[in-house]
Amino acid sequence: MRHFGTVKSFDATTGHGSIQPSRAGRLIGFQKGVALWQRSVDPVSGQCLSYEMDLTDGGARAVKLRNACERH
């Protein structure tokens, strides 16, 4: 299932960031390596994304990130 949100923060040094879901909820963490676009392009704060959730023992994280400019 695809979810939508915006990049809240991204640290280019560590490659980690967080997404604010478009529906109410906690911030979701992600790693740059799960982005499905050109690897040399970093996510930026405020960027609209779609993503899937990966539930692990450590909690939820966003995977399969894609650019999503339309509103949801």
Q: Find the CATH number of the domain harbouring 35.
A: 2.40.50.140
Amino acid at the residue 20:
Q
Domain extent for 37: 3-67
Indicate the number of domains in the chain: 1
Q: What is the reported pLDDT for 69?
A: 67
Q: Is residue 29's pLDDT more than 70?
A: yes
* pLDDT (mean) for 43-71: 86
Decide if 63 is inside a domain: yes
Q: What is the reported pLDDT for 45?
A: 94
* Greater model confidence, 9 or 41: 9
Decide if 44 is inside a domain: yes
Provide the CA 2 distance to its chain's centre, in angstroms: 11
Q: Is residue 71's pLDDT more than 70?
A: no
Decide if 72 is inside a domain: no
Decide if 28 is inside a domain: yes
Q: What is the reported pLDDT for 41?
A: 83
